[in-house]
Amino acid sequence: MTSIQMPQLGETIVEGTILKWLKREGDSVERDEPLFEISTDKVDTEVPSPVAGTVRKILVEEGTTVPVGTALMEIDEAGAASGAASGDGASGDAASSPASGAAPPAGATADVSAGAASSVGSSAAPPPAAPAPAAAPAPASAAAPAATAVATVPDRGPRSQILSPLVRRLAKEHDLDLAQIPGTGSGGRITKADVMAVISSGAAAPAMAPAQPMPAPSAGIGDEVVPVSHIRRAIAEHMLASTQGTARAWTMVEVNVDHLVKLRERVKDAFQERYGIKITYLPLVVRATVDALLEYPDVNGRLDGENIVRHRFVNMGIAVSYDAGLIVPVVKGADGMNTIGVARSIADLAARARAHQLTPDEVQGATFTITNPGPYGSIASVPIINQPNVGILSLDAIVKRPVVIDDAIAIRSMVNLSMSWDHRVIDGELATRFLARVKQNLESWDFAEDLGV
């Protein structure tokens, strides 16, 4: 018998929600066949079966949020000899071994042979080997530990997961949800002062406690009440933590992209034909930005306690909106790609983001982020920094404007490039030099050759 547990999708993920069971009790499964869909703070994904066999038992109901490592289902392996311990999942087996004195002898996982689900595990003194009715619904709460640790805190910095004994005690005594308290200590740690500030402000009621039923909201007649999704909650926490944890400043430059507009008009059909994807301005801006990041590595860094880490590579986060909200897939190693490579990577990531097929690894590790609200028509934006990045660049809409060139008024395609940046790490001069470099690249580079058409 193999016990399937809530997987840990990323080192900072502590819990996940079962969105949907794709198999029912009694269903047969192939190895690698999807068993269920889960939602975590980072990503929604399907979880494949590690073994082939028959679903014996489902332990957690859809919609339930449980800590990583919680047993979710049991699968009887195909062809496994009766009574043999399964190869992996030792902890899961132990969890379901019977209470002492119950019938099965040592060696005990003892899947009682046949198809009908035998309840082996329920510890509350069942008559020995009493077969459970096959149709009995799986008790959802059986496997979910009663004490969901106080320690489910979003990753807001290298030390945000460190909870001192005092902080744990205060949170318990005052029934605080630590996930709602931003840490101002070093590395994002929640300090005594942070907790005391919440207690003294009187806001000591849990706001959005994970896996708790939502308190009945006060809604008027006709109002639509929509529960906060996992993704929405993660976005909310991330954005709030960034707003409260960075010294955000903002700078904008305007760029003459007339020649890029003309270039794109000229090559877009050939590009699509040759590479199978549309050429947009975004890859060009990414290329121009990567060059500036390599020139000004502080912008491509992060603050880590007492140190500033300057990354040797550029992992470009690209904000992508999709039906569930917003997600930031990462073009890994963007500094090693030409414009076509960047364009392909963005097209691939965006398509899979919208299809909910990103892996957790693909939404982590950005060293800088670009957001692209231009297609929706904005001409200037003040984005929130995607922590722990130092900056986020906004590419707004390209519009034709009258500009002064050589003391004459001309019509040109112009775009505003703006950046929100963390004043803790860099200053205005550097931020502006960086943006000026991006601008200079876009205005002076000849992308025609790079696009290969």
Partner 1 sequence: MATQQVEAGAAGHGAEPRGKRGEDGQATYLIAIAEALWEEMERDERVFMLGEDIGVYGGAFKVTEGFIERFGPERVMDTPIAEETIVGMSVGAAMEGLRPVAEFQYADFMSSGFDEITTVLSRYHYRAGVPLPVVLRGPSGGGVRASSFHSINPEPWYAYAGGIKIICPAFPSDAKGLLKSAIRDDNPSMFLEHKWIYRRIKEQVSEDPEFLVPIGTADVKREGSDVSIITYGAMVHKALEAAEALAQRGISAEIVDLRTVYPLDEETILRSIEKTSRALVLYESYRFLGIGTEVAAVIAEKAFEHLDAPVVRLAPPNVPVPFSPPLEDAFLPQIADIEAAVDRLAGW
The residues annotated as belonging to the active site are 423, 427
d(CA 194, CA 21): 40
Cα angle 149, 151, 153; round to 5: 135
> What DSSP character marks residue 336?
G
Give least dist CB 308 to partner 1, A: 17
Name the residue nearer to partner 1 (CB basis): 43 or 167. Answer: 167
Look at the alpha carbons of 225, 230, 232, 234 in this order and tell me if their dihedral is positive or negative: positive
Orientation angle between helical segments 339-354 and 258-275, nearest 10 degrees: 70
Orientation angle between helical segments 339-354 and 282-295, nearest 10 degrees: 120
Give least dist CB 305 to partner 1, A: 9
Backbone angles phi, psi at 204, to 5 degrees: -85, 35
Specify whether the backbone of 106 is left (phi greater than 0), alpha (psi in -120 to 50) or beta.
Answer: beta
Name the residue nearer to partner 1 (CB basis): 189 or 437. Answer: 189
Q: Specify the pairing of strand 2-5 against strand 71-77.
A: antiparallel
Query: In what helix (H) or strand (E) does residue 331 lie, and over which residues does it extend?
Result: strand 330-331
Give least dist CB 172 to partner 1, A: 9
Strand partners, 394: 371, 418
Name the residue nearer to partner 1 (CB basis): 187 or 341. Answer: 187
Give least dist CB 303 to partner 1, A: 14
Name the residue nearer to partner 1 (CB basis): 183 or 329. Answer: 183
Give least dist CB 193 to partner 1, A: 8
Q: What DSSP line would sit under 46-101, residue for residue?
A: EEE-SS-EEEEEE-S-TT-EEETT-EEEEEEETTPPTTPPPSS-HHHHHHHSPPTT
Q: Is the peptide bond before 375 cis (omega within 30 degrees of 0)?
A: no
The answer to whether 443 and 255 are in contact (CB under 8 A) is yes
Residues 6+ apart with CB under 8 A from 150: 163, 168, 171, 172, 178
d(CA 46, CA 64): 16
SS3 content of the chain, % helix, strand, coil (to 5): 30, 25, 50
Residues 6+ apart with CB under 8 A from 155: 12, 161
Name the residue nearer to partner 1 (CB basis): 92 or 157. Answer: 157
d(CA 435, CA 151): 40
Give least dist CB 185 to partner 1, A: 7
d(CA 419, CA 386): 12
Name the residue nearer to partner 1 (CB basis): 168 or 433. Answer: 168
Name the residue nearer to partner 1 (CB basis): 194 or 335. Answer: 194
Give least dist CB 164 to partner 1, A: 5
- For 28, the token pair is 């047969």
Give least dist CB 318 to partner 1, A: 36
Strand partners, 411: 402
Name the residue nearer to partner 1 (CB basis): 172 or 278. Answer: 172
Name the residue nearer to partner 1 (CB basis): 73 or 167. Answer: 167
Give least dist CB 35 to partner 1, A: 41
Residues that bind partner 1 (CB under 8 A): 164-169, 185-186, 189, 191-192
Q: Which segments within 353-433 are labelled E, that is strand?
A: 368-371, 391-405, 408-422
Question: How many beta carbons lie within 10 A of that of residue 82, not counting itself?
Answer: 10
